A and B are shown apart, each in its own frame.
Chain A
Amino acid sequence: MGFDRYASILFIALGVALFFYSQTLTSSFTGTSIGPKELPLFLAVALVITAVINLVAALRVKSPGGKKGLDNWKFLIMVGLLLLYVFLLEPLGYVISTFLFLMAAFQTMERGGYLKSALIAGAFSGGIYLLYVKVALGVLPGLPFGD
């Protein structure tokens, strides 16, 4: 399968990079014991070996053709929305950013039912904020225009 080949090459690259990186770490201070360098070094070698075995196995298998009906678009939009939500969380505050994220995500899943979506999104974001910040005295980003 294509994924196995790319993933194995990526793992090999990662292992090689880790190998050279761990050379820069200090070795043990005393002669006999293991320092911070040895385990990463060993793991780098182990990763390269297993990834090479995996690559060889992947090259032997022919990649099967044909794709099933997958919802890649919805997935990509959802990940995009999630990233946008993460970046807006602190500037806009928890309640507003969560409300916007949920509204957008509900509509991505299925169009329509705006009023119901708004009610659920509002209840969720407001409810969690009230419960967590006002009752449990936790910390979440507040409203942008001051509390």
Chain B
Amino acid sequence: MDALQYLAQGLGIALQPINILFAFIGCLLGTLVGVLPGIGPISGVALLIPVTATMTSGLPQADAATSSIILLAGVYYGAMYGGSTTAILINTPGENSSVCTCLDGYQMAKQGRAGVALAICAIASFVAGIIATIGLLFMAKPLAEVALRFGPADQFSLMILGLCALSSLAGKSQVKAFIMTILGLILATVGVDPISGVARMTFGYPELYSGIEFLTLAVGMFALGEVFKTIITRDYAEGEPIRVGSIIPSKQDMKDSWASILRGSALGFFQGLIPGCGATLCSFMAYTTEKKFSKNRANFGKGAIQGVAAPEAANNGAAGGAMIPLLTLGIPGTGTTAVLMGALIMFNITPGPLLFQERPQVVWGLIASMIVGNVMLLILNLPLVKVFAKVIETPPKYLIPGILAISVFGVYAVQLSLFNLLLMVGSGVAAYYLAKNDYPIAPLVLSLILGPMIENNLRRAVNLYNGDYSRFLTEPISLTFLVIAVLWVAIPQVMKLRGRRLEEVIG
């Protein structure tokens, strides 16, 4: 059994005391950040990258990378869980993917069953996380081996597919998403071109020679952007959190929800595999599926435990599923995995098929740490639920300036440059106005990360084929990816047009 052997190897790494400590810190920080009003998983992970970098700076480089990624993965899962806590206790989803959890979770809380709802969330997250990890374990290596056979043209087309997938599903307007994607690609060309050594768009600023720092932009656009939005719209999470009460689910609760958890996990995992689907979409799908299958459909929206269990499982299953395209193909499927990928690159790890050959200790350590992290979250969350409920009450007066100060500290500690701080503030302001007007931020950050790789593969391919562009369309794998990319973009448009025509005919 190959996979089990790798898992054992990975567990050997993940169970080193220092890495258990990092997984613990990651889950704790992630949950705290997820619970704090105004910070979702994307901004949480972005905000904590510099903190991670500084925490692991004392370790040797190879170990530092593994430990940092373990810490960040913990943050990712923790933040997902934290978002559900606020959804249940104050009816405010920490992120879009816990919108569904609000529907029945808050109702359960009003009936005095907040503790049970939170416990079911923790259990559902745990089961989904484990199922996704098992899937990852068996699928990652074969997929990476297939991907290794891709030529530069195939890789180029695959990345174009990744960009199209994320852009076509992000936000209300596809055109706006494409504008953001192109802007990200343009920003990615800033700096010294690694092949020819020509400086592009640096305008004499030495800070720009190495390109626009991903970290600066991610913290600015996600963390500051969200904080600015909170300030302007006075979107402070108000309202007393409901008392948590008993956190032990009854036998009946478990009996009611186990099937929903399993269905939700599987649905989430497979949707997570598809780039761009995202946790939000699949938590909605899981909710509606449960509602359709349920015998007591009328109970949904009034505190049905299945309505909490299924979307929570789906959203965490998707988080795990999204790791597969990220690790094996180097294609992040969601905004948060895009930020994770940026962090990996920061630590000199390029996700993709080669990673399994070149840095097996990092990959398998990470995969095993997902299991450790899930166990950690379960142990951490159930007893600490009441503490996290207190964190929600942090007054915005102190919270918002605090987040701003942490952002400044983080970016300055890693980059040591005022230029980057100014860029961070500027991109935060820009991100607020862009996001407010439905220009999605995630495609910009994703293309900033993928940009250099796309250009590199494009040039390699064109060089290899002696300038024959038609090879992108005649290589079968490349053609397949490009056709899927076109369909991905075109189908929603065609459906929209059809819908409009139908409306015209009817009305």
Most buried by A among B408, B418, B439: B408
A43 to B201, CA, bound (A): 14
A82 to B467, CA, bound (A): 49
- B193 adjacent to A139 (CB under 8 Å): no
Most buried by A among B232, B234, B397, B418: B397
- A53 adjacent to B201 (CB under 8 Å): no
A11 to B181, CA, bound (A): 13
- B413 adjacent to A40 (CB under 8 Å): no
A46 to B404, CA, bound (A): 35
Whole-angstrom distance between the Cβ of A52 and the nearest chain B Cβ:
10
- B458 adjacent to A39 (CB under 8 Å): yes
With A83-B425, A109-B396 as known contacts, state yes or no: A3 contacts B437, CB within 8 Å.
Answer: yes
With A89-B408, A139-B416 as known contacts, state yes or no: A110 contacts B58, CB within 8 Å.
Answer: no
Beyond contacts A113-B397, A140-B412: 7 other A-B pairs, Cβ-Cβ < 8 A, are: A54-B179, A68-B233, A83-B425, A102-B405, A117-B398, A136-B54, A137-B58
With a cutoff of 8 Å between Cβ atoms, the chain B residues found around residue A78 in the complex are: 228, 231, 400, 404
A26 to B197, CA, bound (A): 10
A52 to B54, CA, bound (A): 44
Would you list 25 pairs from A and B whose C-beta atoms are within 8 A, ordered by A residue? Answer: A26-B196, A29-B196, A33-B467, A34-B458, A34-B462, A34-B463, A36-B193, A36-B195, A36-B198, A36-B200, A43-B185, A57-B173, A72-B232, A75-B231, A78-B228, A78-B400, A79-B429, A82-B408, A86-B421, A86-B425, A101-B405, A102-B402, A106-B397, A109-B400, A136-B54
Asked if B480 CB lies within 8 Å of chain A CBs, one says no
Whole-angstrom distance between the Cβ of B234 and the nearest chain A Cβ:
5
Whole-angstrom distance between the Cβ of A4 and the nearest chain B Cβ:
6
| Interface of A: prevailing SS | helix
Render A130-141 as a binary contact track against B, CB cut-off 8 A, 1 for contact: 001000111110
- A4 adjacent to B437 (CB under 8 Å): yes
Cross-interface CB contact of A40 among B189, B195, B408, cutoff 8 Å: B189
Whole-angstrom distance between the Cβ of A125 and the nearest chain B Cβ:
8
Most buried by B among A1, A29, A124: A124
A40 to B38, CA, bound (A): 36
7 smallest beta-carbon distances between A and B, as pairs: A105-B401, A32-B467, A36-B193, A33-B463, A109-B397, A110-B397, A86-B421
With a cutoff of 8 Å between Cβ atoms, the chain B residues found around residue A79 in the complex are: 228, 425, 429
A135 to B202, CA, bound (A): 37
With A36-B200, A137-B58, A138-B54 as known contacts, state yes or no: A43 contacts B408, CB within 8 Å.
Answer: no
With a cutoff of 8 Å between Cβ atoms, the chain A residues found around residue B409 in the complex are: 94, 98, 128, 132, 140
With a cutoff of 8 Å between Cβ atoms, the chain A residues found around residue B429 in the complex are: 79
A50 to B458, CA, bound (A): 22
Asked if B388 CB lies within 8 Å of chain A CBs, one says no
- B418 adjacent to A90 (CB under 8 Å): yes
How big is chain B's contact interface, by range? 35 or more
- B234 adjacent to A71 (CB under 8 Å): yes
With a cutoff of 8 Å between Cβ atoms, the chain B residues found around residue A47 in the complex are: 179, 182-183, 186
- A31 adjacent to B182 (CB under 8 Å): no
A136 to B434, CA, bound (A): 37
- A98 adjacent to B405 (CB under 8 Å): yes
Chain A residue at minimal CB-CB distance from B466:
A32
Chain A residue at minimal CB-CB distance from B186:
A43
Asked if B55 CB lies within 8 Å of chain A CBs, one says yes
Whole-angstrom distance between the Cβ of B434 and the nearest chain A Cβ:
8
- B437 adjacent to A1 (CB under 8 Å): yes
With A51-B179, A57-B175 as known contacts, state yes or no: A85 contacts B408, CB within 8 Å.
Answer: yes
How big is chain A's contact interface, by range? 35 or more
A42 to B397, CA, bound (A): 47
**Taking beta carbons and an 8 Å cutoff, which residues of B are in contact with A?**
54-55, 57-58, 173, 175-176, 178-179, 182-183, 185-186, 189, 193, 195-196, 198, 200-201, 228, 231-234, 395-398, 400-402, 404-405, 408-409, 412-413, 416, 418, 421-422, 425, 429, 433-434, 436-437, 439, 455, 458-459, 462-463, 466-467
With a cutoff of 8 Å between Cβ atoms, the chain B residues found around residue A109 in the complex are: 396-398, 400-401
Most buried by A among B401, B412, B418: B401
With a cutoff of 8 Å between Cβ atoms, the chain A residues found around residue B175 in the complex are: 50, 53-54, 57
With a cutoff of 8 Å between Cβ atoms, the chain A residues found around residue B405 in the complex are: 98, 101-102, 105, 124-125
- B182 adjacent to A50 (CB under 8 Å): yes
Most buried by A among B404, B425, B462: B404
A138 to B183, CA, bound (A): 34
Whole-angstrom distance between the Cβ of A89 and the nearest chain B Cβ:
7
- A136 adjacent to B55 (CB under 8 Å): yes
Asked if A20 CB lies within 8 Å of chain B CBs, one says no
Interface residues in A103-136 by Cβ distance below 8 A to B read 105-106, 108-110, 113, 117, 120, 124-125, 128, 132, 136
- B400 adjacent to A105 (CB under 8 Å): yes
- A25 adjacent to B437 (CB under 8 Å): no
Cross-interface CB contact of B232 among A39, A46, A71, A125, cutoff 8 Å: A71
Asked if A35 CB lies within 8 Å of chain B CBs, one says yes
Whole-angstrom distance between the Cβ of A117 and the nearest chain B Cβ:
8
Chain A residue at minimal CB-CB distance from B58:
A136
Chain A residue at minimal CB-CB distance from B447:
A43
With a cutoff of 8 Å between Cβ atoms, the chain A residues found around residue B193 in the complex are: 36
- B401 adjacent to A86 (CB under 8 Å): no
Whole-angstrom distance between the Cβ of B184 and the nearest chain A Cβ:
10
A72 to B229, CA, bound (A): 10
With a cutoff of 8 Å between Cβ atoms, the chain B residues found around residue A72 in the complex are: 232
A58 to B234, CA, bound (A): 28
Whole-angstrom distance between the Cβ of A41 and the nearest chain B Cβ:
10
Most buried by A among B55, B231, B232, B437: B231
